[in-house]
Chain A
Amino acid sequence: MYKKINLIFFIIIFLIAGSYKNAFALDTKSIMQKANDLYQKNNFSEAAEIYQKLVDDGYESTALYYNLGNSYYRLNKIGYAILNYERALRLSPGDDDIQHNLALANTKTIDKIDSLPKFFIFQWWESLLAMFNLTGWTYAAYIFYLLILISFGIYFLVKRPQLQRYAFFSGILSFVVLLVTATLLIVKLNREVNIKNGVIIEPTVIAKVSPDNDSNDAFVIHEGLKVRLEDNVGNWYKIRLQDGKIGWTNKQDLKVI
């Protein structure tokens, strides 16, 4: 009987995972391969075009964004490079290659805005959050949820005291881990949904004090700067810099990560 239950679980997980596979996998694979080959041959502009087309068509993957970022970096479009590295990092928060290239691209930007040094506990928290992307944390929470259910099942369905004891403790453990993963998931979800960041793609952008071309200039920022988007009015984004400065920019001056 338990074998049957396990089988059902596996089928469910498989179904969820399977629903994300797209039907045109073969087609996109060959397109990616073509772009990768172009990159290999130092034909960065064409490679970037193909990668960008895939992105515009609604595809994504760490490799796609990362490769597109690399192509833009080679084309000296630092703003777009940083934008795509940031997007790739969202899918694979812990990826070392992305972090390296992003850091390198950031050295080429003009603005140097100091952010306050973070307390080490927050750094730990951040690196913990960066272990998985949102989907990763969803799966993690789901797996521990299933583990709890399985432990419960064993506890109630199996009449051997030794096994029941193991099931009980593994259930408690899974519950604690689930609490942690669920917290991380919620935090991550909150960031994903409520906190939007953008990257400046125009060489020089003059941020205004209010969403109006005639208003006073607030500050000048340059291509490649990551800003937080706090609001939008018409064709304007309200942006916040890392040092806390607030200004408004035209929507075409930046791209949302």
Chain B
Amino acid sequence: MIINKIKIFLLLFLLYGSIILPQSFTASIDNNKVGINDRFQVSFTFTGTDINGVKNYSSPPFQHFLVLSGPNQSTNMEIINSTVSASRTFSYYLQAKATGKFNIESASIEYDGKTYKTNPISIEVVAGSTRPNNNGSSSQQPVITQKDIGDNLFVKATADKQRVYLGEPVTVTYKLYTRLNIASQMSVNKLPQYNGFWAEELTTPNNITFSTEVANGKQYRVGILKKVCLFPSQTGELSVTPFELNVPVQIQNRKRSGNIFDDFFNDPFFDMGRTVNYDAKSNTLKVKVIPLPDKNVPDSFNGAVGSFTLNSSIDKTTVKANDPISIKLNISGTGNIKLIDAPEIKLPTGFDKYEPKVSEQVNRTGNISGTKKIEYLVIPRISGKREIPPIKFSYFDLNKNSYVTLETKPFDLNVERMSESSNFASNSKEDVKLLGDDIRYIKTSTNVEKQGGILVYKVGFWVAAGFPLLLLAGLVTFKKRNDKLLSNAQLLKYQKAQKIARNRLKVAKNLLQEKNQTAFYSEISLALYGYLEDKLDIPKSEFSLEEAVSRLKQSNVNDSVIDDLKQTAEKCEYIRFAPQKDGLAAMNEIYNQSANIIIEIEKSISTMRKSLV
């Protein structure tokens, strides 16, 4: 019996052990029909033996719902007879955005390489609340909806201007309106974001002081939470995100009848109230930022908006080259002081400048004002009287609605030469190998010349160049002609024969007058023979009277001339060797005859030659 029982037990035990619990992933909702103001819970539960293997949970999209909280994870584990069953739940608190029928899509999860999905759940959202709040007997505590609190406690953001220029400050004030008691310190859920603005928080008292104010026909206690001065840095429609606060509110226990808020002035001390955390959220602010007028914009305008004054100072006006000077500039006033860039200082050449040092003091009470101190460090490099031109600073004056340009006085500087010792010139060189070297001694030549122009441009040069060329040309031409003549010696001799003969006859005539018979006759014969030699081209060695006569005959010379020639020649020979006493007449005759002969021969031979040519 007992054994049987044990057997059954064992069997059951084994059975249990062998049963593999199926993994499941299910979705559940606490109520399928909810009111639009109701919160409800949606859970996705995974059940299995080993929940540690669960991964990659992906939540469904809740397009139609506000996720108030979640996903919240909870794990549950049971061990029954050493069988482990565990579950993991992902839950959300949701609130519907609108009425109607909606589906909550499936969530998915991965386990052991498989993906599990839940079934979609449908939900119906109706107006109002489905929560029973009238059967007070069931619940001691009254149900207070968010809306109820929201009517009595809210945060409101207000801007002093809705339409501003770029850079014009907007003051945004966050006020808490309440008709409820605030239980303890509020905490900030989310600070507003000022995209497109430079925000400067204005100082507000640490403790919120409340005053009374009527809004929407109800009286509220109002306290300023926060005051911010915003300087837009872009144009267009800019928005400030809501300021979200968590306010613990004290709710009085409800009396059996009557409105919960009737006894507002009841002393809370004696009231056994309870605290509800209310998430207050301010409205979204919209500010339209328009660009600054683009007419008459000064060159020096750099985005400053407000109203400012400018003053400047310089530490010294007489300075050595390479010594630094500091120029200080103070810009003070109200406006976007922090956004002001240091005005450009336009230095003449010969100055080096360094990045200006900028410091600022900002006063945050009431509005943003302050002073910006800019210090320029300037180093003159060139000596002499120099002027630093005025520094210009422009801003947009919101009151005048126009640009205003301020400028400093110009600074007159007297830059002295730097001291001799600081010779930076030679230090700044890289390859100064010659530095220790000295110049070479002067040239001792004492020759100087008048500064001449360019030789090529002078007439003398071209004359000197042209003259040898002409000379050469002349010489060459002369030589050419000479060569032509030389190449025919006969022709030359032929041409010269008459000339030589004439010369000889001239000599002979002189001798005649001197009555020198011998010399006269020899000269006459030389004249005759020489002439014949040359004219008839007979070499001297071969010359004889007979030869000459025969050649003359060949040349068709008149026989009478030939006879005269013979006679004269013989007479000459004869008288040369036998001089006569009264020879003057004979000499005259001979002379005339010889001359005649030569003329006659010349005539006939030239005519012959001409006819030949």
Interface residue ranges, A against B (CB under 8 Å): 1, 5, 8-9, 12-13, 15-16, 19-22, 25, 28-30, 32-33, 36, 39, 54, 58-64, 66-67, 70, 73-74, 97, 100-101, 103-105, 107-110, 112, 134-135, 138-139, 142, 145-146, 149, 152-153, 156-157, 185, 189, 192-193, 203-204, 206, 217, 219-220
Cβ of B478 to closest chain A Cβ, rounded Å: 9
Given the interface pairs A108-B425, A109-B425, the reply to whether A9 lies near B468 with Cβ below 8 Å is: yes
**In the complex, are the beta carbons of A220 and B382 less than 8 A apart?**
yes
Measured between beta carbons, the chain B residues less than 8 angstroms from A152 are 472, 476
Complex Cα spacing A74 to B444, Å = 17
- Choose the segment among B66-74, B156-164, B428-436, B523-531 that binds chain A (4+ C-beta atoms closer than 8 Å): B428-436
**In the complex, are the beta carbons of B425 and A110 less than 8 A apart?**
yes
Complex Cα spacing A70 to B438, Å = 10
Interface residue ranges, B against A (CB under 8 Å): 348-350, 382-384, 425-426, 428-430, 432, 434-435, 437-452, 454-456, 460-461, 464-465, 467-469, 471-472, 475-476, 479-480
Given the interface pairs A105-B439, A152-B472, A204-B382, the reply to whether A60 lies near B467 with Cβ below 8 Å is: no
What would be 17 A-B contacts, judged by CB atoms less than 8 Å apart?
A: A5-B471, A8-B468, A20-B449, A59-B451, A61-B445, A63-B447, A66-B442, A70-B439, A73-B439, A101-B440, A110-B428, A134-B456, A135-B452, A149-B468, A149-B469, A192-B454, A206-B350
Contact of A146 among B426, B428, B449, B468 (CB under 8 A): B468
Measured between beta carbons, the chain B residues less than 8 angstroms from A206 are 349-350
**In the complex, are the beta carbons of B467 and A66 less than 8 A apart?**
no
Cβ of A25 to closest chain B Cβ, rounded Å: 8
Measured between beta carbons, the chain A residues less than 8 angstroms from B451 are 58-60
Complex Cα spacing A103 to B448, Å = 25
Top-10 shortest CB links A-B: A32-B446, A63-B443, A217-B349, A63-B445, A67-B442, A59-B448, A101-B439, A138-B455, A29-B446, A61-B448
Given the interface pairs A8-B471, A220-B382, the reply to whether A70 lies near B425 with Cβ below 8 Å is: no
Measured between beta carbons, the chain A residues less than 8 angstroms from B479 are 156-157
Complex Cα spacing A189 to B428, Å = 37
Contact of A21 among B445, B449, B460 (CB under 8 A): B449
Measured between beta carbons, the chain A residues less than 8 angstroms from B454 are 134, 189, 192-193
Cβ of B435 to closest chain A Cβ, rounded Å: 6
**In the complex, are the beta carbons of A60 and B438 less than 8 A apart?**
no
Measured between beta carbons, the chain B residues less than 8 angstroms from A157 are 475-476, 479
Complex Cα spacing A27 to B600, Å = 77
**In the complex, are the beta carbons of A220 and B449 less than 8 A apart?**
no
Given the interface pairs A22-B450, A61-B447, A70-B442, the reply to whether A217 lies near B464 with Cβ below 8 Å is: no
Complex Cα spacing A80 to B467, Å = 43
Complex Cα spacing A29 to B449, Å = 10
Complex Cα spacing A176 to B533, Å = 53
Measured between beta carbons, the chain B residues less than 8 angstroms from A22 are 449-450
Complex Cα spacing A37 to B524, Å = 83
**In the complex, are the beta carbons of B449 and A103 less than 8 A apart?**
no
Measured between beta carbons, the chain A residues less than 8 angstroms from B475 are 1, 5, 153, 156-157
Measured between beta carbons, the chain B residues less than 8 angstroms from A64 are 448
**In the complex, are the beta carbons of A220 and B349 less than 8 A apart?**
yes
B435: nearest chain-A partner, CB-CB:
A107
Seed contacts A107-B434, A156-B480; 20 additional CB < 8 Å A-B pairs = A1-B475, A5-B475, A12-B468, A19-B460, A32-B446, A36-B446, A58-B451, A66-B442, A67-B442, A100-B439, A101-B439, A105-B439, A107-B429, A135-B452, A135-B455, A142-B464, A145-B465, A156-B479, A204-B350, A220-B382
Given the interface pairs A105-B439, A217-B348, the reply to whether A59 lies near B425 with Cβ below 8 Å is: no
**In the complex, are the beta carbons of B439 and A20 less than 8 A apart?**
no
A104: nearest chain-B partner, CB-CB:
B434
Complex Cα spacing A178 to B368, Å = 88
Cβ of A21 to closest chain B Cβ, rounded Å: 7
**In the complex, are the beta carbons of B439 and A16 less than 8 A apart?**
no
Measured between beta carbons, the chain B residues less than 8 angstroms from A1 are 475
Complex Cα spacing A2 to B502, Å = 33
Complex Cα spacing A67 to B451, Å = 17
Contact of A33 among B426, B434, B446 (CB under 8 A): B446
Cβ of B458 to closest chain A Cβ, rounded Å: 9
Measured between beta carbons, the chain B residues less than 8 angstroms from A28 are 446, 448
Measured between beta carbons, the chain B residues less than 8 angstroms from A12 are 464, 467-468
Cβ of A189 to closest chain B Cβ, rounded Å: 6
Cβ of B416 to closest chain A Cβ, rounded Å: 13
Complex Cα spacing A122 to B472, Å = 39
Given the interface pairs A59-B448, A110-B425, A206-B349, the reply to whether A104 lies near B438 with Cβ below 8 Å is: yes
Complex Cα spacing A59 to B449, Å = 5
Complex Cα spacing A46 to B438, Å = 21
**In the complex, are the beta carbons of A62 and B443 less than 8 A apart?**
yes
Measured between beta carbons, the chain A residues less than 8 angstroms from B447 are 25, 29, 32, 61, 63
B463: nearest chain-A partner, CB-CB:
A12
**In the complex, are the beta carbons of A63 and B442 less than 8 A apart?**
yes
Measured between beta carbons, the chain B residues less than 8 angstroms from A74 are 439
Cβ of B476 to closest chain A Cβ, rounded Å: 5
Given the interface pairs A97-B440, A112-B429, the reply to whether A60 lies near B448 with Cβ below 8 Å is: yes
Measured between beta carbons, the chain A residues less than 8 angstroms from B349 are 206, 217, 219-220
Contact of B450 among A9, A59, A100, A112 (CB under 8 A): A59
